[in-house]
Chain A
Amino acid sequence: MKRLSVVDVNLCVGCQCCMMACNRRFGEGGIAESAIQIKSIGGVERGFIVMVCRACKDPPCMKVCPTNALTKRPGGGVILNHSKCIGCKRCAETCIIDAISWDESVEKPVICVHCGYCTDYCEYDVIKMEEVK
């Protein structure tokens, strides 16, 4: 199984092409449904942070979900069952690296499924897919 990993954040130029790519998986242009977020560390001159799920083996977000909408993904991280999710935001609050994005239009979390689509659109090798045992 594979997971998305952040190789070297110093290489990031802040282009946000990864965000747009993730959103495109759902067929629309934008960022509202992106599971990966890029922010500057207080001004672009200081560089960027990449906020995305790091595929915990024992996911804290899953444990706090009151409806069991989150289940373990083989290879780390979680899978979200949309119909079970009640949009309580507990998962997002529990993930201390803020890797859970929020889709305001449906009030549901957006969590990386480690599909790797975004990595094809990072020109600077900041993110890549990595084999996990």
Chain B
Amino acid sequence: MNDTLSNILHIDLSRKRFWTEDRNELFNEMIGGSGVAINLLEQECPKGIDPLAPENPIILAVGPLTGLYPIASKTVAMFKSPLTGNLGESHCGGRSAVAIRFAGYGAIIIKGASETPVYLSIHGDKVRFRDASVIWNMANSYTVGRILREKESGSGIRSIMRIGRAGENQVSYASVVTETYRHFGRLGLGAVFGSKQLKALVISGKKNIPVSDMKGYRETYKEIFKLLSTAEMRKYHELGTSMNIIPLNKLGALPAKNLQTSKFENAEAISGETFEKNFLGRRVSCAHCPVACIHLAALREAYESEPYFYKTEMISYDYELIYALGSMLGITSPQALLKLMDEVEILGLDAMSTGVALAWATEAQQKEIITTKETNGLKLKWNDEESYSKAINYIAAQVNEFYKTLGKGVTYASSKYGGKEFALAFGGNEMPGYHTGPATHLGFLIGSRHSHLDGAGYSIDQKALAKNSKPSATEIIDKLIEEEAWRQILSSLVICFFARGIYKPELISKAFKPIGKEFTEEQLKTIGLRILKQKYRFKKREGFSLKNLEIPERIFQTETPSGKLSKEIFNEGLKIAELKLTSI
């Protein structure tokens, strides 16, 4: 049997057609995941299109190690982002990656738009376009999942990707939810689904992946599996990423109240420790990952109108959600925070962008840039969970001009209403939860996704703090680019970034051998850099430039652990990055 990795499934939603294409050369050269996806995006996405036009392709790609080795468990999505107008890339676990791989594909390209709501049902070679009219407009993304679970086959091995109301209404930072609790969160894939009237995609399959050296395969597998049970990985299972709330807050690096401060007085109440002690109800894992980092809190709620009636919701929490919907909004009650997280999940929004958007709106209202006329009667203020819950629903439902504007992100909203100084977005993407120093923000600015996961600047800052050193602009940029280039390899193999310390170049080469492929460390590094350059080429093609990047003034006003940030390092850093990233 042949490996089906190089099979690409093309889907045309306009004409309701599908076909497959073998791209062996592409997978051989660019590995899979991000490497393959950026090439497909360059080919399939016409220059200058509206991200919500039918021509915008949705590309989903997995990698050669998916299904073969543990934790190669992510699906990379690429598209033109409705939020930033350039590169849209987002990664998601759950069962998505193994399901695509076992269905017999290395990538899926979805183009066109349906005239009526549709969902895709893909089971191995069988592809069906199914009428989704009844589940369009359904208020709750959980319910959609439940219905599709009943309707579709492949229980236990399928992935169910779907959008919520925010995606239907094409909010620029709408997410795609899979298996509940995992997401293509950032940069608005949900809106692109919505623009195509694509409500969901169900996929499953049972194709095996051939191995040429069985003994070598089993041995390498065992070695990797062992490495995944070391303390380095266990921490993601134990408290999980929310373990960082208290230390980052102590450090003075946890953005709170729209980064008016970097210390949140109530951090303890919404910390990983609090959630573990009082709410943790279950931990689950992505398929083929032994780490199980997904933490679900059990929240028992009473029905107000019905005495003796309760419901228990399971709500997934993580560091970034606690930051964006918690400290950023001054939320002091863990129950209130869980409810906001639940709302965001139900409606299918990106939690980070939503939290930052609400934080901006709160400050804008405080400063009377906007009034209750805009907010649809709400008086937004820190820690007011009820108003925030309503506002989240208003964004998803796009109730008025203001929420339509806010649904396009804070960069856009502040360009219309003012308040740019405190609109916390970088390259058009809302800020992640780190105010650790210059590297984190430089990373948000120059990262190809404007995400903390691109070059992990927060880690450069924290290391510098520990050593009491002050890296220069050149040093920071070099490190960011080096890290981001290497991460292109991880995301081409679709290895979860949590395992970046385990899948080192040597181990990756070793993992390839039993499947008869050879990549040296040198080769991998060259490919990584090439992918990064290609991403930048796409960004530039779509009008992105490091030269006219705006930096929100707020980051210079609020103390970081190493004091206030200097503008010089940013001017210098961006110039250096410009040179390095465009010369490539």
Chain A residues packing against B (C-beta within 8 Å): 13-17, 20, 23-24, 27-33, 37-40, 42-47, 104-105, 121, 123-124
Contact = CB atoms under 8 A, between A and B. Distances in A.
Given A30-B209, A31-B206, A33-B208, 4 more contacts: A15-B287, A27-B214, A31-B157, A32-B208
Given A15-B288, A17-B288, A29-B67, A47 B146 contact: no
Nearest to B213: A27
30 contacts: A13-B283, A13-B284, A13-B285, A15-B285, A15-B286, A15-B291, A16-B287, A16-B288, A17-B288, A24-B218, A29-B69, A30-B206, A30-B208, A30-B209, A31-B98, A31-B102, A38-B156, A39-B155, A42-B146, A42-B149, A43-B145, A43-B146, A43-B149, A45-B282, A46-B314, A47-B282, A105-B208, A121-B290, A123-B229, A123-B290
B217 interface: yes
B149 A24 contact: no
A29 B179 contact: no
Nearest to A33: B208
A111 B145 CA distance: 31
Nearest to B70: A17
Contacts of A47: 282
A28 B149 contact: no
A124 to B, nearest CB: 8
Interface of B: 67-70, 98, 102, 142, 145-146, 149, 155-157, 179-181, 206-211, 214, 217-218, 221, 225, 229, 282-292, 296, 314
Interface of B is mostly: loop
B156 A37 contact: yes
A25 B209 CA distance: 13
A32 B156 CA distance: 12
Contact of A20 (B145, B146, B288): B288
A29 B287 CA distance: 14
Contacts of B292: 13, 15, 123-124
A42 B218 CA distance: 32
A125 to B, nearest CB: 12
Contacts of A31: 98, 102, 157, 206, 208
Contacts of A33: 208
Complex A-B, nearest 3 residue pairs according to Cβ-Cβ distance, in ascending order? A27-B214, A39-B156, A30-B208
A30 B67 contact: yes
Contacts of A44: 179-181, 284
Contacts of A13: 283-285, 292
A17 B208 CA distance: 15
Indicate the member of B206, B214, B221, B289 with the most A CB atoms within 10 Å. B206
Given A32-B206, A45-B314, A121-B225, A15 B214 contact: no
Contacts of A40: 156
A110 to B, nearest CB: 11
Indicate the member of B69, B98, B146, B229 with the most A CB atoms within 10 Å. B98
